[in-house]
Amino acid sequence: MTELLGVLGDPIAQSLSPLIHNAWLREAGIDATYEAMQVAENDFASALETLAKRQVRGLNITLPHKHAALVAAGEVSVSAAKIGAANTLTPIDGGGWHADNTDAPGFLFALAHAGIEVVENQNILVLGAGGAARAVVYALHQRGASLTILNRTPSRAADLSKQLTNGQSAYGPIDQYRDYLDEACIVINTTSMGYTGNAIELARGKNRLFADISYGRIAAAQLAHADQQGWRTLDGLSMLVAQAAESFEIWFGGRPDTDKALQRVRRVVEAVS
């Protein structure tokens, strides 16, 4: 029988996950299909029940359900618990769900793919302190990075430093970012400022890395500016594919081809940008 997997969210029509996962399922010769499932905030618990009855093989969870997924799970990985969000649910034999957060290892994989395997004691500037920043900060702190977190609302940056790095990260208001650019080896923009056309004005990059968790039209101007200023760039598509690969590995055990997947989604995103 063809097995079912999918991603639950609202909105979900824009999700690239079906494109990524269905190609990997085909390549691995697995008889399964991965679908985008539109589930409103209040319907999450009942949707999970229905999917459990259908013996779904695995689920990705995106906004606005990442916290609810954590609460619904009987078993929670250490990283998902700490980050406070789950993006991967796997049914447990005998009932219930195991929750993981693959955004954090996915982010590290994407960094490694961009040539940065060691972040220990590196000064890294994280802009933003929302949901996406939590996974990034958690992952980098685990690897011993020396972090500065700047946010429009500084108290959220302070909370993140306290909760995820035992207060070992510096923090402050985002409008002071220029003061931190010189000493940063890597700058990571996790804010959604690209949606409103705002951008970070960068100093000369001198081949340092600028990563933006957005992609496509939203990130285009910011990444073009970074490129012009001599930064190496990494966009959110690499991270999207990497977190998907981590989920696939949890469900099926094998590592799928992330390079081909990245080329595929990039073609699609460029076609609609």
Please list the active-site residues.
66
Segment interacting with ligand ATR, rule: CB under 6 A, options 123-131, 204-212, 233-241, 250-258: 123-131
Name which of 51 and 69 has its Cβ closer to ligand ATR.
69
- Using the contact rule CB under 6 A, the part of the chain among 19-27, 32-40, 145-153, 217-225 near ligand ATR is 145-153
| Binder among 64, 84, 96, 131 for ligand ATR (CB under 6 A) | 131
129 binds ligand ATR (CB under 6 A): yes
For the segment 26-65, give every residue that binds ligand ATR (CB under 6 A): none
- Does 156 engage in binding with ligand ATR (CB under 6 A)? yes
Site string for ligand ATR, 157-196 (x = CB under 6 A): -----------------x---------------xxxx--x
> Which residue, 123 or 192, has its beta carbon nearer to ligand ATR?
192
Query: Interface with ligand ATR by CB under 6 A: which range of 27-35, 75-83, 129-137, 226-234?
Result: 129-137
Least Å distance, CB 14 to ligand ATR, is 14
Which one, 25 or 70, has the nearer CB to ligand ATR? 70
Separation of alpha carbons 186 and 125, rounded Å: 6
DSSP letter for each residue of the chain: --EEEEEEESS-TT--HHHHHHHHHHHTT--EEEEEEE--GGGHHHHHHHHHHTT-SEEEE-TT-HHHHHHH-SEE-HHHHHHT--SEEEEPTTS-EEEE--HHHHHHHHHHHTT----TT-EEEEE--SHHHHHHHHHHHHTT-EEEEEESSHHHHHHHHHHHHTT-SEEEEGGGTHHHHTT-SEEEE-SSGGGGT--------TT-EEEES--THHHHHHHHHHHHTT-EEE-HHHHHHHHHHHHHHHHHSS---HHHHHHHHHHHHHHH-
Three state DSSP letters for 192-251: CHHHHCCCCCCCCCCCCEEEECCCCHHHHHHHHHHHHCCCEEECHHHHHHHHHHHHHHHH
C-beta closer to ligand ATR: residue 125 or 174: 174
For position 152 contacting ligand ATR by CB under 6 A, the verdict is yes
Rounded-to-integer distance, Cα 219 and Cα 228, Å = 14
151 makes contact with ligand ATR (CB under 6 A): yes
Minimum CB–partner distance for residue 36 and ligand ATR (Å): 19
Q: Candidates 96, 130, 172, 230: give the one binding ligand ATR (CB under 6 A).
A: 130
Q: Is 132 in the site for ligand ATR (CB under 6 A)?
A: yes
Least Cβ distance, residue 139 to ligand ATR (angstroms) = 14
Indicate the residue type of 102: T
CB 240, min distance to ligand ATR, A: 13
∠145-139-68 over CA atoms, to 5°?
Answer: 150
Nearest distance in Å: CB 174, ligand ATR: 5
Interface positions with ligand ATR (CB under 6 A): 128-133, 151-153, 156, 174, 190-193, 196, 198
